[in-house]
Structure 1
Amino acid sequence: MLITLAGCFSALAQDSLQVSVRANVKKDAIQLRWAVNSPLAWKQTNRAGFRIERYTVVRNGQILPQAEKTLLTPEPVKPQPLDKWQTLATQNNYAAIIAQALYGQNFQLSGDDARGVMKMMSMAQELEQRYLVSMYAADLSYPASVMAGWGWEDKTVKSNERYLYRIIPVISGKMVSVKMGSVYVGLADYQPLPQPQDLAAVFGNKSVILAWNYKILGHVYNSYFIEKSTDGKNFTRLSETPFANMNGKNGKPNDRMYYMDTLANNTTTAYYRIIGVTPFSEEGPVSVVVSGEGKNTVAYVPHIQRAVPNAQGGVDINWEFDERGNEHLKRFELQYADNNKGPFVPVLTDITPTTRNITYNQMNVTNYFVIAAIPEDGEPIVSFPVLVQPVDSVPPISPTGLQGVVDSLGVVRLSWTPNHEKDLLGYRIYRAQTKGEELIPLNDVAIRNNHFTDTLEVRNLNSKVYYAITAVDMRYNQSEKSVVAELQKPDVVPPSPPIITSYKLTDKGVQLEWVTGQEENIAALQLYRQEKGSKENTLIYTVTDTNVQSYTDETAEMDRLYGYTIKAVTKNGLSSEPSPIITIRARGQASQMGKITSFTGKRNRKDQSILLSWKHDVKEAKAFELYKGEAGKGLSLWKVTKSFETQIQDIDVKPDVQYEYVIRTVLASGKTGAVAKVNVQN
């Protein structure tokens, strides 16, 4: 079973075992450092070694047609024998650590731990410890990593060339597979080492915390020396070994490094600086120097016991603070913020150390207060914050300056003058599709900005949309609605065509009457005339007052046959389809066509229907067209009857609605003749 499990783990590990490589460019050489990513791969490659291949890819700024291969290691690079480590190990502790990890004796197990699963687990833990400790030591000593076969320095490079280095594990068939690593680099990549960043110091009571940015130069430095001075000139290192960033989460180090140092007293100035160390054992320039002195601290903390609004609109506050701390204080301060995280600003200062209660009158709707004890020397000691909210039932003022625009895609952009109440929570937006309709709120959660974007369906009949806003404070008091903003929607839907409802032949000419669809955005009506036999359709009348519903054509010539149509045009120039053509013979001859002498409608209360009846003296009638619509809302073709029919019943009607009907004669020639209309209240 153990052999099977080991085989499974080995198979899983093979998918991710690989070599990671990084390069360090010097002025005349390129240094390489590499490492494998598992204890098992570490053990196997230490035995088999690595082969280093260099490919010259670029020369004099030109990519070579065929990269030139150079084998830098005819024999695989392996850890040096133990007897060759003695000189370096005596001078370098990290070399001694690596030598111990490579060549030290195995753990000696006894009893039950020496058998079965426990023995296997102990062996795995030992291998992992050897791997981790040696990798850490190699990061801190480049000469030791070279001795261990994990580093190489190439001094045969040229400044006009760039290279691809490949570190290839020499793996036999019985070993696990480890992927090779590579790095592309040239001498032109050389850059001087940067200065460590953002060193800061926080001084406390005989202590200091140093912090600096590790992440920004984490690709350059993996450890740091910390140096200290008492005169700002002569610095000594706090440790012979550099400090590494060992803290982190999910395998990643923290963005900042921290170090706490102790001070001999709070009166002497201490100076600190840091020096970065690369994985190739190179030290960078020193950082800026930070300095300071320790801070005497007060051992007692103020605590607010009571903070109650008073009848005058202020707040009465009292707190407790140990009397023994009075002699260390300069004063107390009352500090205010509009949230519990601050920043808190002083609103009452110079409160004597013996005072324990005060009254503050300049209250806002939401107030967070702390009591700060200001010591003679050192940082203030601050109480926990308390929240004080006076009673508020006064709503904000109604917003002003509401305006907006609707674009061709139906996107509405609203803006208004912002309110200035300190306790303002935000705004609610209301919309109506027609004038006088109830305004419906668009947002449940108040918005903080003084602008809002809405979307509309522009392809409907209403030409305008209406908006209003209210202001809401933090107690959810809501203002009155603003003045309603009436916004014009873009014209994207043509208006419905008007209908010529009747005509009359007079001494002056042909008098026409019509009705429209009553759209709000109609800007003009255009009346056209076309003489029989002519292809020219002539505009004879344009009216911009949509309340005008008749016109007399005084230019019609006697005994001429004319066809009349009418169109509606919007403010943006969209035109309706022409109305159904009505054909009329002008003046004397037109009377021979006859007319509808009677057209009536009668309501039947019993079955909720309307009976339409008509009489006529048109001799050439072929059929009758009947148009229907609610009064004032436009007409559409409803029914076509035979010429011999004189009545029809409309059963599709609603109660308490006035309907408008128009009847028009269709002649045997296909032209239209007499027209009449009637209104019926159901």
Structure 2
Amino acid sequence: MIKKLVIFCICVLWTCVVQAQSKDVGMIAKVEKGKIILRWMPLNYKAWKEGNEEGYTLLRRTIAKAGKPQNDAPFLVLTPQKRKPLAQPFWENMGKNNKFAHVAGKLLYEPVPSHDTTAQNLNFALCMQMSCMSTSIANGLGMLFEDKLVSSDEEYQYALVLSGKKLVFLEVNAAKITRLKAPANLYGEYSQGEFFMRWQMTDALMHTAYILERSDDGGITFKAPDPNPILISQEPDSLGRVFVSKLDKLPKLYQNYFYRVRAVTPFGQLSEPSNVLRVYGYKDKLPLPKLSTHITPKGVLLQWSFPDSLLNDIQGFKILRAKKLGEKYYQLSPKMLSRKSRSFVDSLPLNSAYYRVALLDYGGKEVTSYPEMVILDDTLPPAQPRWYKPIVSPKGIVKLRWKVHKESDFYGYSIFRGDTKTQEFSIITRRMIQDTVYHDTLSLNLLNKNVYYTIVAYDKRLNASTHADTILVKRPDIIPPSAPNFTNYVLSDTSIVLHWENSPSADLFQTLLLRKNTKDTSYSMLDCFMANENLKSFTDYSVQPNTEYEYRLVAYDDAGLSNKEPCKIQLSLLDLGFGASIKDLTITGDSLTRKIVFSWKYQHPAIDKFLIYRKKGNDYLSEYKYVPASVRNFEETQVLLDVPYSYAIMALYKDGRTSKLSRSVSITLSSPQK
């Protein structure tokens, strides 16, 4: 143990890039803004005693400035007075408030027998460790110097002199600030109220010991539960990595604690903290659940007991089952049961099986009960079969499908069919089938459109399940609906009125009314109505004069079939010599501008022009103005106030015919009130 302590308290300082050592003394430097801190340490008891008695002298010379070498620069003495340990009163005074200083002072001045090399090495190792606990202790031991007369654009070479010999040389770039690395890969394991932690040394030069910190306020503030440093007591592994460990007892259970680690450096400073670990204290030595089993009509009932006082120490329960003793147990519960659960029903039990109940403690560890064996007197039938949606081909081939049964004693299925839902069904499978697909062939030349199916499952003891829910399958429809018939029509010069009787087919779904110009090849749809609407007439206002139309009725059943017999009629408008009158008339006026605007709407493919009729005052309505076919309004200006004006309009067609004269519209512009 003493050998390891000597190795890790001293030698870790001199194994990185920034280092300088001889066989007796090693030295490192820490660069801060505006200063360089030099820290040295003897490597054996003899060198330590010699340094304490003779003292150390520190020299420095500039070897580069602004990147340019300074080859001839001489060494300057930084310590005109040799660096030796301070007198005993210093340690007595400092030791009152610093136990590490108290220990260092005792080790420094307490005599050790010259023949007791073990005691000598132990005192030396402990004193070197104390020197790393604070800058004041290292300085008091004569092993530290702060060089504040430095420039950031210079590089220096330091030499440590002991007994007139330059033992150590160290080159330092004042521009390269030293960064303190945090310990890495902090990992922890909880057990029985104690938390074991392990982490990796990341800087063998700067990490001489560690301080473990703990927080009980959610990670806001951290304090060291033990102020004593954690020493490096393990040698490097095969990859050269050094790991440090610490065991801490939680103050109390059922509370979250947070841990982190900081390294103590040879300069008495703490590094940045490591990653943070959270641990929750709980009891992880728990009693086994006590399991009992009972056979019920609903399956195997499992009941267990567990102390309610330990509910805070578990996450919940799992139910496990195995076919045979020694075989793998499988979880029955689809998810973990509540910690308050004390029963579970296996609704699909095996004829014989072994059961266990397992609890999960807060850390995820399973604690299982002793196994309980259950042998069933098999009177339980299989579960009720569950259908998938059937598929029917146009040729009447029915594909029946259902969910597979997973009972270990399952045997097969029987399928039943009926033409009505209320009659007794007939079995259609000659033998029991094990598959979950069955094909049946339906006759298509029957008027009965519906077929019904059900299924029964059996186990090996021929216990029958309840019938599956009855499903309906429709026969493929190959018989089209009967055709509707036109029964009457009424013709005028503006519209065609159609009357008909709908298809009498029971499976009528909808009817389409189609129309086409007899000169055209394709129909357009005028109306579409469902069977329950029972529409029997239609008035066609969109017809044009001198045009013959063909009307057609098409009936569709619920299978998408249409009537094959034609149901059509050819009709045209009555030609009375007059076109339809213009009906959409508006008239507006403005008394201030003494203007009347007469507007209309009218669509006709062969308009030549419009003839406007006017009545003014007590005059008769008479022809007044012609306007082009493209015009749809007429303005009258300079009208007389307080005199009624009336207007009507007639369309003149290109073939010489005219429309009927429209109704008249009137307006009177009143004189403005004075």
Normalised by the length of structure 2, the TM-score is 0.40
Mark the structure with the bigger radius of gyration.
Answer: 2
